């Protein structure tokens, strides 16, 4: 009998990639929860459309599905929107996680919750799982709260801090910086990337593989899912452009913390992935090997794989 995997936030590219990989893996019946998108059901794939903030509906669906594991990717992730609409950010990011964590705890269900490198203030970089969060914007504050909720509520819960996720949409469009960048470069348009922001960008394929391994395994606690390349976002974009045959002149350096009207960003929020390398069989990639995985996935999906 296949295990049941529930994935929230379907329509986002991280959830879409995770669902796609789970179906290819063959060991899961997948239940995708979406606010806006309900594709046709197929074998071992079910999509349920409702507002996750509806606690009654969430409980009803959860009790009907009885998932073995939940990958919780749904969130309000626009940093500037969260800063200016804090009630919405609190309700969606914190409130939904609290409800879902309670359901998982009561049922003994494994919960894999997505957090972010943005929970750190960016003053030192290469943060480990033992470093305490110091949020510099409201979005990061909500994610720090969700980490506490999962840690304190779900005995077999896992918090995964994701570095800047690099990928292309497979199932669901989502908010992929790479897709937007590729579209601009194809048109010969310049793209702006902050030189002050140092990250360890994780590719979406590795993230999905790690989710599935964690969902089917015994690991609990905190884990950083990040690549092994520490790099600022401007240089990252330049290297990706060169790898794909575009001119570096299409990439323009900016300073995200010098732009008026924006919430502050951590400068160096790079994550140390040594623990992930130690406890997971899923390999952590470099920037370029992760990009190769993303391109291979997109090609396989387009060919009907």
**Residues paired with 48 in a beta bridge:** 33
Q: Tokens 């009998």 appear where?
A: 1
Residues of the chain under the 50 pLDDT cut:
none
DSSP string, 123-150: SS-SB-TTSPP--SSHHHHHHHHHHHHH
DSSP string, 58-99: HHHHHHHH--SEEEE------HHHHHH-HHHHIIIIIIHHHH
User: Among residues 234, 167, 156, which one has the least CA distance to residue 198?
Assistant: 234
**What single DSSP character describes residue 189?**
-
CATH topology of domain 3-176+201-228+269-302: Rossmann fold (3.40.50)
User: Each residue of 221-274: pLDDT tens digit?
Assistant: 999 999 999 999 999 999 999 999 999 999 999 999 998 889 999 999 999 999
User: Among residues 212, 93, 105, 96, which one has the least CA distance to residue 151?
Assistant: 105
pLDDT at position 11: 83
Query: How far is Cα 251 from Cα 241, in angstroms, rounded to an integer?
Result: 8
Q: Tell me the HSE value of 105 on the side-chain side, using a 13 A CA sphere.
A: 13
Which residue ranges make up each domain of the chain?
A: 3-176+201-228+269-302
pLDDT at position 172: 56
Count other Cβ atoms within 10 Å, centred on residue 75.
Answer: 26
Query: How far is Cα 277 from Cα 283, in angstroms, rounded to an integer?
Result: 7
- pTM metric for this prediction: 0.94
Query: How far is residue 60 CA from its own chain's centroid?
Result: 26
């Amino acid at each position: 009998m296949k295990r049941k995997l529930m994935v929230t936030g379907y329509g986002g590219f991280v959830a879409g990639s995770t669902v796609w990989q789970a179906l290819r893996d063959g060991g899961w019946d997948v239940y995708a929860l979406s606010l806006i998108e309900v594709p046709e059901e197929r074998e071992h794939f079910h999509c349920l459309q409702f507002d996750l903030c509806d606690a009654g509906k969430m409980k009803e669906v959860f009790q009907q599905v009885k998932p073995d594991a939940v990958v919780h990717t749904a969130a309000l992730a626009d940093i500037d929107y969260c800063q200016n609409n804090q009630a919405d950010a609190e309700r969606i990011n914190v409130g939904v996680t609290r409800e879902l964590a309670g359901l998982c705890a009561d049922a003994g269900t494994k919960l894999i919750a997505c957090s972010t490198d943005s929970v750190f203030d960016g003053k030192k970089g290469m943060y480990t799982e033992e470093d305490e969060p110091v949020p510099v914007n409201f979005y990061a504050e909500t994610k720090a709260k969700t980490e506490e909720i999962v840690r304190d509520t779900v005995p077999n819960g896992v918090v995964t801090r994701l570095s800047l996720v690099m990928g292309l949409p497979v199932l669901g469009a989502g908010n992929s910086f790479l897709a937007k960048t590729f579209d601009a470069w194809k048109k010969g348009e310049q793209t702006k990337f902050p030189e002050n922001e140092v990250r360890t960008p994780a590719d979406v394929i590795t993230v999905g593989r790690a989710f599935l391994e964690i969902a089917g395994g015994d690991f609990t606690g905190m884990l950083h899912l990040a690549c092994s390349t520490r790099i600022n976002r401007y240089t990252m974009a330049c290297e990706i452009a060169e790898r794909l045959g575009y001119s570096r002149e299409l990439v323009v350096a900016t300073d995200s913390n010098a732009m008026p009207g924006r919430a502050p960003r951590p400068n160096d929020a790079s994550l140390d992935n040594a623990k992930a390398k130690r406890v997971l069989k899923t390999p952590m990639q470099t920037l370029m090997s992760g990009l190769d995985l993303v391109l291979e996935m997109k090609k396989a999906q387009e060919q009907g794989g």
